[in-house]
């Protein structure tokens, strides 16, 4: 689901349907950490097959979508050629640093505790909030220098975040939430690029979040989650995907397409299913279909590109 706003952004800015859908599929499917974790937990053979299959299928999906809707894409390309493109507001290097700081904040703020209490990962975990704070300060400077947001508004947001961190040192979620609120208030009241950024973000949130909640609810009711039964008993699934038959592979693909997987959760799920008799073929099918598709993402895609294109993407 985290790829959908990026997909919507590049598609609305003029990217072709083929490259955009290839990115939509490959984003969650070709996750370096997920590939490494798959190879380590499930087996090197499955990990290599997942990496190769995800790259190949993303190309196939993009080519199929372009071929199926070539007429629509021709009209879109012709319309794009008549639109004058204004010069960029700042160098690409500025945008790269700007987005890298936001990605860094999300990565380090969500850095989980490692299994071993010592070592490199443990050291990173112990310093995660310090690194997040440094990245946040750099991000604040960029907002003032490059997005031209009022320095006093950004400064107030920084002071409020620092105060929340001092008052709640053991609850990092409090200063993080204050920072998000301060950023929202600062950008929403700006009449320039900051206001446009907030408007686009808020528009995506209103479009995606309700569908995400409904889709996750339905998927959870039907298929459950690790350690908890859904309306469809896990014994039925284990019977359906046992062995390596065509039917088992087809069922694994369909089940994976409708089930919602949070990042990396597909690996322990597949590991448990393989321990119950799931074949390697259905396991690979689930790993390729699950992260790239889900009922929530289908609902959101329908609102972005329409029923026909969504159906074609799901089938392809």
Q: What is the pLDDT of residues 133-180, one digit of tens each?
A: 889 889 999 888 888 888 898 889 989 988 888 888 778 788 888 888
- pLDDT surpassing 70 at residue 129: yes
pLDDT value, residue 212: 59
Q: Tens digit of pLDDT for each residue in 89-99?
A: 677 788 888 88
Q: Let me know: does 219 contact 254? Beta carbons within 8 Å.
A: no
pLDDT value, residue 216: 61
Average pLDDT along the chain: 78
> Which has more pLDDT, 254 or 242?
254
- pLDDT surpassing 60 at residue 226: no
User: Sign (positive/negative) of CA torsion 196, 199, 202, 207?
Assistant: negative
pLDDT value, residue 141: 92
CA distance 184 to 157: 10
- Provide the Cα torsion 48, 54, 59, 62; round to 10°: 180
Write the CB contacts of 32 (distance below 8 Å, at least 6 apart in sequence). none
Beta strands (DSSP E) in 63-166 are none
DSSP string, 183-243: HHHHHHT-SSHHHHHHHHHHHHHHHHHHHHHHHHHHHHHHH-BTTB--SS-HHHHHHHTBB
> Which has more pLDDT, 300 or 199?
199
């Amino acid at each position: 689901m985290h790829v959908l706003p990026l997909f919507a952004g590049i598609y609305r800015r003029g990217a072709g349907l083929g490259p955009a859908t290839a990115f939509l599929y490959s984003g969650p499917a070709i996750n370096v950490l997920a590939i490494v974790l798959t190879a380590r937990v499930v087996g090197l053979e499955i990990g290599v097959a997942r990496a190769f299959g995800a790259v190949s299928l993303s190309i196939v999906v993009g080519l199929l979508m372009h071929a199926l809707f070539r007429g629509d894409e021709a009209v879109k390309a012709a319309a794009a050629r008549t639109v004058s493109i204004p010069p960029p507001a700042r160098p690409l290097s500025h945008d790269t640093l700007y987005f890298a700081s936001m990605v860094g904040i999300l990565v380090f703020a969500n850095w989980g505790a490692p299994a071993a209490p010592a070592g490199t990962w443990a050291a990173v975990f112990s310093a995660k909030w310090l690194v997040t704070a440094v990245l946040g300060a750099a991000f604040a400077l960029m907002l003032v220098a490059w997005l031209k947001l009022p320095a006093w508004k950004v400064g107030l947001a920084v002071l409020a975040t620092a105060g929340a961190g001092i008052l709640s040192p053991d609850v990092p979620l409090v200063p993080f939430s204050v920072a998000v609120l301060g950023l929202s208030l600062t950008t929403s009241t700006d009449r320039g690029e900051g206001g446009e950024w907030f408007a686009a973000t808020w528009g995506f949130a209103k479009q995606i979040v309700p569908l995400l909640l409904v889709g996750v609810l339905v998927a959870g009711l039907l298929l459950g989650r690790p350690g908890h039964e859904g309306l469809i008993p896990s014994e039925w699934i284990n019977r359906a995907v046992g062995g390596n038959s065509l039917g088992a592979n087809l069922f694994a693909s369909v089940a994976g397409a409708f089930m919602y997987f949070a990042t990396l959760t597909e690996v322990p799920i597949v590991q448990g299913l393989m321990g119950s008799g799931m074949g390697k073929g259905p396991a690979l099918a689930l790993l390729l279909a699950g992260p790239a598709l889900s009922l929530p993402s289908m609902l959101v895609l329908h609102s972005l590109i329409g029923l026909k294109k969504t159906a074609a993407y799901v089938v392809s």
